[in-house]
Amino acid sequence: MTIAITGATGQLGRIVVEKLKEKLPAGEIVALARNPERAGDLGVEARRFDYDRPETLAPGLAGVDTLLLISSSEVGKRGPQHTAIVAAARQAGVGRIVYTSLLRADTTPLSLGTEHAETERAIAASGIPHTFLRNGWYLENYAASVQGALAHGTLIGAAGEGRIAAASRADYADAAVAVLLGTGHDGKTYELAGDTGFTLAELAAEVSRQAGRDIPYRNLPQADHAAALAGAGVPAPFAEMLAAWDIDIANGALFDDGHQLSRLIGRPTTGLADGVKALIG
């Protein structure tokens, strides 16, 4: 059996490769990378796989039985990138695709959902047996805002009372490994999220507890939040996106209490206290 992983030099991809190596001979794992020279430390075969160079795609998938398609990080380009990867998978005779999508990709108000839903449709239309791992937010997404809160004494956001059922990258990586190595997952869509949601006020309270000083949460109007992020050096278009996502979060876009992630990985997901501990370092 050969399992290939896209984005293998990325943060999630690296964890998946490491976890797969604990359960499979390294010779059965292929790291697909835009720059294979950055994959040398992974200890598995690395193949060039650049979404913007379509000629690298089908050859990169030669002999691959199962493909873990970790979504591209190039927001706005992912529809055509992923569609080209799915076409290459068909051409190469890949037997199965596992795709890291977004929580409730087909109905989410998050702008990110459009490209994920488009990718899910392309995979479904390909006829290749598949599983969708609809990942919720990473706890690690809060690294910058927690560092900002420690520096300035206030955690800012615009998500109001919205609950965020985040989990760690390691949790989502364990789910990917469980599905890649397990059976009975074809045709399934898993809504993956942390066991316990938290509000940004609860995040601030946990940061305060661990830092040993009071760091309150300040909820801002969307435009003020975007301006504050831009003022802190976040590129303006990304600051606008982050602020808009917080409004979606306020409306419940990242809350889920289905516990499908902990069921898949056979353990509780990483909680808020451990997540904050990892962020504070």
Ligand X SMILES: NC(=O)c1ccc[n+]([C@@H]2O[C@H](COP(=O)([O-])OP(=O)(O)OC[C@H]3O[C@@H](n4cnc5c(N)ncnc54)[C@H](OP(=O)(O)O)[C@@H]3O)[C@@H](O)[C@H]2O)c1
Q: Which is nearer to ligand X, 15 or 228 (CB)?
A: 15
Backbone angles phi, psi at 62, to 5 degrees: -60, 130
13 binds ligand X (CB under 6 A): yes
**Residue 7 in the binding site for ligand X (CB under 6 A):** yes
Residue 111 main-chain phi, psi, to 5 deg: -60, -25
Q: How far apart are CA 188 and CA 130, in angstroms?
A: 7
Q: How far is the CB of 183 from ligand X (least distance, A)?
A: 25
Is 21 within 8 Å of 44 (Cβ atoms)?
Answer: yes
* Burial (CB count within 10 angstroms: exposed 0-12, middle 13-18, buried 19+), residue 183: exposed
* Residue 9 touches ligand X, criterion: CB under 6 A: yes
| Under rule CB under 6 A, residue 275 binds ligand X | no
Residues 58-77 that bind ligand X (CB under 6 A): 70-74
Distance CA(12)–CA(21), nearest Å, equals 14
Residue of 1, 11, 59, 187 interacting with ligand X (CB under 6 A): 11
50 contacts ligand X (rule: CB under 6 A): yes
In this chain, which of 87, 128, 129, 141 binds ligand X, going by CB under 6 A? 141
Residue 56 binds ligand X (CB under 6 A) = no
Q: How many residues does the chain have?
A: 281
CA–CA separation, 259 and 273 (whole Å)? 18
Q: Which is nearer to ligand X, 13 or 113 (CB)?
A: 13
Residues that bind ligand X (CB under 6 A): 7, 9-13, 34-35, 49-52, 70-74, 100, 135, 137-138, 141
